[in-house]
Amino acid sequence: GAVVSQHPSRVICKSGTSVKIECRSLDFQATTMFWYRQFPKQSLMLMATSNEGSKATYEQGVEKDKFLINHASLTLSTLTVTSAHPEDSSFYICSAGWGDSYNEQFFGPGTRLTVL
Amino acid sequence: LAKTTQPISMDSYEGQEVNITCSHNNIATNDYITWYQQFPSQGPRFIIQGYKTKVTNEVASLFIPADRKSSTLSLPRVSLSDTAVYYCLVGDIGDSSYKLIFGSGTRLLVRP
C-alpha cells in the first residue's frame, strides 16, 4: 500500500509556543489529506480536511486560527498548533486519499505532542 | 453519515476465530463498510472493505447480510499480535467529500 509519513514522531514544547507537524505522501499524490486528533483511550476525532491549493475545511468545534493547516503540494500538508497549551497535548494523525474515491485512506504513524 | 455501534471490548485466545459485529442501521444505499485496525501509538491500518455479501482477503473476512444493517469482521486464528482496536466505518467512497468518522471501536485482547 501507499506510504504516508509524519514528522516529527514526537515533540515536547513549552506552553505558548507553536509546533508544526508535517504529513507527506511518499509514493503517491494526495489530493486530499485529513487531520485527526486522538486522546488516550479514545477514538480518532477528525479535525479538518485539507485539499491541495485551497483552504482547509474544519470540523465543528475546531478552531481554525489555532490549528493552521497548509496543503501547498500534492505530497505535503502541515498542521501548526499555535500558542500550544497543555490541553493540546494529544496524538495527531494524518491520512491521505487520492483520486475521486477514498476506498482506502492511508494513515501516517502519528505525532505525539506534549505541551508542558 | 451513518452511525456505527460496536462492542467496546472483546477477549479471545490465540488460535481462535474472532468475530466482531458492527451495527449500522442507517446505512445509505451508496455507503461502503470499511474496517480499520489500530495498535497503540500508531495510525490506523486498513483491513477490509465491502458493500454486500462476503469479502475475503489475506487477513480477514467481512460478512454483510442482505439488509446491510450490520456487518461482521472475522479474524481467523488470532495471535497475540492481533491485540488492537478495530474500527468499523461506513460512508460513500465515491463522494469526493467523503471523510472517515470513527466510532468508539472494539478493543480486542488476545490472550496466550
- How many CB contacts within 8 angstroms connect chain A with chain B? 58
The C-alpha cell 465491502 sits at B50
Q: Which residue of A has its CA nearest to B45?
A: A107
Check whether B2 has a pLDDT greater than 80. no
Q: Which residue of A has its CA nearest to B44?
A: A107
Check whether A102 has a pLDDT greater than 60. no
pLDDT value of residue B74? 98
Residue A88: which pLDDT band, with cuts at 50, 70 and 90?
very high
Nearest CA to A35 out of B43, B17, B109 is that of: B43
**What's the average model confidence in pLDDT over A61-77?**
92
How many CB atoms sit inside 10 A of residue A82's CB?
15
Distance from CA of A36 to the nearest CA of B (A): 10
**A43–B96 C-beta distance less than 8 A:** no
Indicate the average pLDDT of chain B.
92
Q: Which residue of A has its CA nearest to B43?
A: A109
The pLDDT tens digits for B8-53 are 999 999 999 999 999 999 998 988 999 999 999 999 999 999 999 9
The residue that leads in pLDDT, B27 or A97, is B27
Check whether B63 has a pLDDT greater than 80. yes
Q: Which of A24-33, A73-82, B10-19 has the lowest mean pLDDT?
A: A24-33
**What's the average model confidence in pLDDT over B61-67?**
97
pLDDT value of residue A34? 92
Residue A57 cell numbers, joined: 475545511
CA distance A91 to A77: 17
B99, B102, B104: best to mutate for the A interface, most A CBs within 10 A = B99
**In whole angstroms, how far apart are CA B18 and each of A34, B5, B44, B103?**
31, 17, 19, 20
Q: How many helices (H) and strands (E) does chain A have?
A: 0, 11
The C-alpha cell 505525539 sits at A112
pLDDT value of residue B1? 55
User: Beta strand A32-38 with A45-51: parallel, antiparallel or unpaired?
Assistant: antiparallel
What percentage of chain B exceeds 70 in pLDDT? 95
Check whether A28 has a pLDDT greater than 90. no
CA atoms within 13 A on the CB side of B94: 6
Residue B98: which pLDDT band, with cuts at 50, 70 and 90?
confident
Residue A98: which pLDDT band, with cuts at 50, 70 and 90?
low
